[in-house]
Structure 1
Amino acid sequence: MSTIEEALRKAEQQKQIGQKIIASDDSASEPHDIQQDSHDSIEGFVANDQESFNRPVEKFDWNFLKSKGYICPESAHSKLAEEYRSIKRPLVVNAIGARKKDIQRSNLILITSSVPGEGKTFTSINLALSISAEFDKKVLLIDADVSKPAVSKVLKIKQTPGLIEYLEGEVDNLSDIILHTEIDGLRIIPAGKRHKYSTELLASNKMVSLAKELSERYADRIVIFDTPPLLATTQAEVLASMVGQVVLVIAADSTSQSLVMESVKKLENCADVVLTLLNKTKRSLDTSYYGYGKY
């Protein structure tokens, strides 16, 4: 499926727009305050495997995922898996490595694009799978594309209470919407039901408090938000102000420069780090072509 170019190794000079990771894919809303007992509310994310003994476990359809080009356990040494090892490295270093102290909310990573169809969910899932494969990393993948929840669709997660129900107050504890998976290091929060005020819920005090809690109390865990395209709704822009890193996925040969520039402008005053990932490129670049682009 994908021929993703090796990711740029440099992760210095963060606080800038447009560090470029080159990739390819040849396939083809009322505010609430978070509860004071938040340590218990996110237990499902931070506890060891022992806490999941009575909880159902999500099983993945690996044959389906493999047919769609996603990373699978038996393809741990495939070109795609190796390329995502390179892509994740600067993000992980920023999140919990040497540069963590320089970036606010460094472990919160938002994946978005300018318009639909550029590969943001493909990137979100593969990035989560790749990071969770590490021995000392835990990942929480949040389907924050609440209008069109693609993560649940791809991973074939049945309709279940999710982020919207938690923000609305229908579900009290975050641990009640966290899905445990067959991968020890990976947990998932589905989007939940559709809501006419979903944007307002994502901008609520409760969402702000949740992001702050996940970032500060459990800074050694990595949280990935799969969000709507920036130019399709305001939801990604709202969430981008709550995270430390943003990956803007750009489809090669189809997304115009004007759209990319418009998206970059929306992100200028949001996260400390904004990386761009060029997806769906057909050519294979020599490593000597690697460098940083600034928009």
Structure 2
Amino acid sequence: MSGNALSRVFPGALSPTDSFSGGQLRTRRIISHDMADPRPADAFRDLRTQLLAHHAGNSVILVAAVQRGNGGSFVALNLASAVAFDESRCAVLIDCNLRAPQLHERLAVDPKKGGLVDYLEGRVESLSDVVYPTGVARLMLVPAGGRREASGELLGSQRMVALLDSLRAADASLSIVLDGPAVSSSPDARILSQVADQSVLVAGYGRDTPTAVREAAAVFDPARMAGLVFNRVP
């Protein structure tokens, strides 16, 4: 990967000043190389490998839950972290859950210059100003930057398309993960799926009925539906 090229596009975003300790990663429920139980990390590595194999280059991957409480943000964050395990790759995680953003808190990012909302509404012109380093090496975050109830118009805007195109053009080894809202909560997941290359649906194990899963999956274009992840499996 051309780390120098990415550093020029996103100054400082690849060089976290304070990396999370093992204890901080566990508290924040973020996978790491040295977990006592390696199964969660292995599961996300496998998911990462399958997704990257299905789409050449730097794909945009949407992660959305069937309903709130299924852990969609948990899956999105750890999928991006698994991509960043590979020293030849980087990941940008974008908090697209504009009605209930949380990733900036999870990753201890203070969006001083603004976030996705500020960029999409035109208050921030430079994309590099809303791409922040995190405590996880090679993982960058675009925080939501604010709450918006009428979020579909922003997420489906030409400025959102341009943002993703800019990230795609930054480096061929950069993966973009969109943390979308639950399918049952709003039309935003469907809107985001139209700008993503692949969509991953997160179902709660023993929580979502087969009918609910089928109805949620039907929202996405079958050609871009990468698969289903069951979260909270005992």
Q: Could you tell me the TM-score, scaled by structure 2's length?
A: 0.86
CA distance in structure 2 between the partners assigned to 1:78 and 1:115 by the alignment: 27
CA distance in structure 2 between the partners assigned to 1:153 and 1:182 by the alignment: 12
| Partners of 1:252 and 1:280 within 8 A in 2 | yes
1:70-117 CA deviation, whole Å, 9 max, x = no partner? 313532882222222212111121233xxx6xxxxx610000011001
CA distance in structure 2 between the partners assigned to 1:62 and 1:149 by the alignment: 25
1:120-145 CA deviation, whole Å, 9 max, x = no partner? 11111111111101021111011111
Partner of 1:117: 69
| Partners of 2:115 and 2:145 within 8 A in 1 | yes
SS at match of 2:99: coil
CA distance in structure 2 between the partners assigned to 1:61 and 1:147 by the alignment: 30
Tell me which amino acid in the other structure corresponds to 2:195.
M
Q: Structure 1 pair 135/204, CA: closer, same or farther in 2 (3 Å)?
A: same
Correspondence list, 1:75-154, <5 A: 75=35, 78-96=38-56, 107-154=59-106
CA distance in structure 2 between the partners assigned to 1:65 and 1:49 by the alignment: 27
| Structure 1, unaligned runs of 5 or more | 1-42, 101-105, 283-295
Residue 255 of structure 1 pairs with residue 215 of structure 2: no
Partner of 2:173: 220
**Share of identical aligned residues, percent?**
26
**Greater CA drift, 259-268 or 87-96:** 87-96
Q: How far is the alpha carbon of 1:260 from its aligned partner? A: 0.9
Q: How far is the alpha carbon of 1:56 from its aligned partner? A: 7.1
CA distance in structure 2 between the partners assigned to 1:237 and 1:45 by the alignment: 33
Q: Could you tell me the TM-score, scaled by structure 1's length?
A: 0.69
| Structure 2, unaligned runs of 5 or more | none
Tell me which amino acid in the other structure corresponds to 2:224.
D
CA distance in structure 2 between the partners assigned to 1:233 and 1:44 by the alignment: 39
Q: Structure 1 pair 84/165, CA: closer, same or farther in 2 (3 Å)?
A: same
| Partners of 2:98 and 2:149 within 8 A in 1 | no
**Greater CA drift, 124-133 or 212-221:** 212-221
* Structure with larger RCO (C-alpha < 8 A, sep 6+): 1
CA distance in structure 1 between the partners assigned to 2:79 and 2:61 by the alignment: 10
SS at match of 1:74: coil
